A and B are shown apart, each in its own frame.
With several copies, the nearest count.
Chain A
Amino acid sequence: MTTKEPVTEPFVERQHGLDLLREMLRIRRFEEKAVELYSIGKIRGFLHVYIGEEACAVGAMRALTPEDNIVATYREHGQALARGIPMGSLMAEMFGKANGCSHGHGGSMHFFDKPRRFFGGYAIVGGGLPIAVGLALADKLQKRRALTACFFGDGAVAEGEFHESLNLAALWELPVLFLCENNLYAMGTALERHQSQTDISLKAQAYGIASEAADGMDAIAVESAAQRAAGTVRQTGRPFLLELRTYRFRAHSTADPDLYRTKDEIERWKKRDPITMFEARLREMRLLADADLTSLEARIGAEINEAVALAEAGSWEPIEALSKDVYTT
């Protein structure tokens, strides 16, 4: 079904709420640190931060099991952390160190982690969707009971591979959970300037795929929508398109002057900051006290410091190893 308006959800019990908050905060603080480290040249290349969108990865990831596969984009710090890849190996990767999750070969855009079935951040927009379809096909053929979660942005919806992949996944009845993080912009191009039909979840009908749209600024809404969606995929073995309506608070990347949207618009959205909103709700419900938050921040701060220390301590891959992993043999 397609719901244009986000479904509103009953609220949660304490531990659950604190877990969601902690995961969102870990991402927020990690990326704030990354931006700082980028500015002093410790991190290079492209850096696409997820700040403002944390509820999407955190909420969605809770619907997945360790057996499920994940395909992400170049804006994947959030997905990687929410999936449980140690912060240190991510930070080391962004430093380009050998102890990074991709041995320094990938950087911010290309996190990989085999033990956690994290099949990578893909930097060609739309390029991850066919990979996800193939992973799901492999599972189906091997009778593995797992689904493949495929993250992509609203901009990817315009690419031909979106169309081809949804058709193939539906045609072959493959367990793919398509997760569209619709932050209303593809770089500087607003949704209404790249989509003739701006309701992305509605596009699923063209493939006979079930879909839903959820409030991507609300971790609880995302989580329960993801639970429903993942449930459907597991039950039916068919794909599902879940659109998460969210917003990017920072520029597209460290290279983006952000000229294409008004400060107003950004400020309006910041009023819906997934973390502060969620904090407020927890407080209202008396599920969160100042002390909790302080200790939470403290623990996260410590984790980040360790991560940076680990990255700093990491060694560089020897130059002789340059061509090591081009071929397996």
Chain B
Amino acid sequence: MQAKKMTYREAIRSALRLALKSDPRVFLMGEDVGRYGGAFAVSLGLLEEFGPERIRDTPLSESTFVGAGIGAALGGMRPIVEIMTVNFSLLALDQILNNAATLRHMSGGQYSVPLVVRMATGGGRQLAAQHSHSLEGWYAHIPGIKVLAPATVEDARAMLLAALEEPDPVFIFEHATLYPLEGEIDETAGPVDISKAAVRKPGSAVTLITYGGSLPKTLQAAQELLKEGIDPEVVDLRTLRPLDAATILSSVKKTHRAVVIDEAWRTGSFAAEISAQIMEGAFDDLDAPVARVCSAEVPMPYAKHLEEAALPRVETIVSAVKRMF
């Protein structure tokens, strides 16, 4: 174990470098991943290290460079496509839903699409209504793809390595506020098991279920609650599709209460799916209805105080939990 301090951003880069070094089929393409160094500096230095054939700046053509990633995967490569942010991924959603997700089944199992697509997601940076979406829940609705949302520095690296071992399309959502997050990780570690959610804090009173950018807030809320004598268990979903329902249910069967924290707009959020599955799998164990802490149903406003009011916060998580007792 070679413990090393690095940021979430650097952890992704470390996985990218390892993949580029160890597998000649791997290449990275996306807007400004090369000369610019990546909109979030994730791929900084990779162009210099691996050259323009493998670190490819694309034009602003989301639908086509994602589609080209699908085609390159069909053609024997192992593409990693970076979509700058989830907000722009809508332009590529047709390729994702109608091609990436369907090709294996539609071809009767003849073709697989070993494609990894990474994108930044989420709000909280005052980028207003067109740049603050949290749409990973939509992606989690699509059969044929896998959806990951690493919330820790360790997962940022290890889940990307795991994604690169998948024979099918994997979509990785990186919450933009996590990039500067620091942690000590083992840079020699291999991939992790992405089929399992993680209990980030054991507890007994209530299960707080979240993922990605909401994990730090949720852990903070858990500390607040501890002070008030409520000991929550915190479950980090890590993978939204396929969902590790077992871990969620066993926790809820222990705590008898659950709150789902999800930055998406409440109606039709993935939090609703979690709530529904708890209803279906642990109804008799529930002492209170599962609660959701989500974003207000408004296009994200620019003004700081309004954006804060729209997003899940430590206080709103805490009070949602307290309302259950």
Give residues in A with beta carbon < 8 Å to B: 44-46, 69, 71, 96-97, 100-107, 109-110, 112-114, 119-120, 122-127, 129-139, 141-142, 155-156, 158-161, 164-165, 167-168, 171-172, 186-190, 193-195, 255-257, 259-260, 316-317, 319, 322-329
Is the CB–CB distance between B60 and A194 below 8 Å? yes
Contacts of A324 in B (CB 8 A): 109
Is the CB–CB distance between A130 and B306 below 8 Å? no
Which chain B residues numbered 22 to 71 have a C-beta less than 8 Å away from chain A?
27, 31-32, 34-37, 39, 41, 53, 56-61, 63-71
Cα–Cα, bound, A70→B75 (Å):
11
Interface centre among B31, B72, B107, B309 (most CB of A within 10 A): B107
Extra A-B contacts (19), CB below 8 Å, given A134-B69, A327-B168: A44-B125, A96-B304, A102-B302, A105-B302, A131-B74, A133-B64, A134-B72, A137-B68, A137-B72, A141-B53, A155-B60, A159-B61, A186-B59, A322-B306, A325-B108, A325-B109, A326-B297, A327-B144, A328-B104
Contacts of B87 in A (CB 8 A): 124
Is the CB–CB distance between A106 and B106 below 8 Å? yes
Is the CB–CB distance between A100 and B130 below 8 Å? no
Given the known interface contacts A319-B309, A328-B104, the answer about A138 and B76 at a Cβ–Cβ threshold of 8 Å is yes
Contact partner of B296 (CB less than 8 A), chosen from A133, A139, A161, A322, is A322
Is the CB–CB distance between B106 and A102 below 8 Å? yes
Contacts of B166 in A (CB 8 A): 329
Is the CB–CB distance between A104 and B306 below 8 Å? yes
Is the CB–CB distance between B67 and A133 below 8 Å? yes
Is the CB–CB distance between B99 and A328 below 8 Å? no
Contacts of B301 in A (CB 8 A): 104-105, 317, 322
Is the CB–CB distance between B68 and A168 below 8 Å? yes
Cα–Cα, bound, A319→B127 (Å):
18
* Nearest CB of B to A111, in Å: 9
Cα–Cα, bound, A260→B34 (Å):
9
Cα–Cα, bound, A195→B301 (Å):
34
* Nearest CB of B to A144, in Å: 8
Is the CB–CB distance between A168 and B61 below 8 Å? yes
Is the CB–CB distance between A109 and B104 below 8 Å? no
- Which 8 interchain pairs have the tightest Cβ spacing? A134-B71, A130-B67, A138-B75, A188-B36, A103-B108, A107-B302, A96-B303, A158-B59
Number of inter-chain CB pairs below 8 Å: 273
User: In this assembly, does B143 line the interface, its C-beta being within 8 Å of a C-beta of chain A?
Assistant: yes
Given the known interface contacts A105-B129, A187-B39, the answer about A323 and B297 at a Cβ–Cβ threshold of 8 Å is yes
* Nearest CB of B to A167, in Å: 6
B87 nearest CB neighbor, chain A only: A124
Is the CB–CB distance between B128 and A105 below 8 Å? yes
Given the known interface contacts A155-B60, A168-B61, A194-B60, the answer about A161 and B76 at a Cβ–Cβ threshold of 8 Å is no
Is the CB–CB distance between A260 and B109 below 8 Å? no
Cα–Cα, bound, A325→B111 (Å):
10
Is the CB–CB distance between A323 and B296 below 8 Å? yes
B41 nearest CB neighbor, chain A only: A257
Interface SS of B by simple majority: loop
Is the CB–CB distance between A132 and B71 below 8 Å? yes
Is the CB–CB distance between B108 and A160 below 8 Å? no
Contacts of A319 in B (CB 8 A): 305-306, 309
Contact partner of B306 (CB less than 8 A), chosen from A105, A114, A167, is A105
Cα–Cα, bound, A39→B70 (Å):
36
B56 nearest CB neighbor, chain A only: A172
Sampled A-B contacts (24; CB under 8 Å): A104-B108, A104-B301, A104-B302, A105-B299, A106-B128, A106-B129, A109-B130, A137-B77, A138-B73, A141-B77, A158-B61, A161-B64, A186-B31, A187-B31, A188-B35, A189-B31, A189-B35, A193-B35, A316-B305, A322-B298, A323-B296, A325-B105, A327-B167, A328-B109
Contacts of B63 in A (CB 8 A): 130, 160-161, 164
Is the CB–CB distance between A114 and B111 below 8 Å? yes
Is the CB–CB distance between A120 and B309 below 8 Å? no
Contacts of A137 in B (CB 8 A): 68, 71-72, 75, 77
Which chain B residues numbered 116 to 146 have a C-beta less than 8 Å away from chain A?
125-131, 143-144, 146
Cα–Cα, bound, A101→B289 (Å):
43
Is the CB–CB distance between B108 and A106 below 8 Å? yes
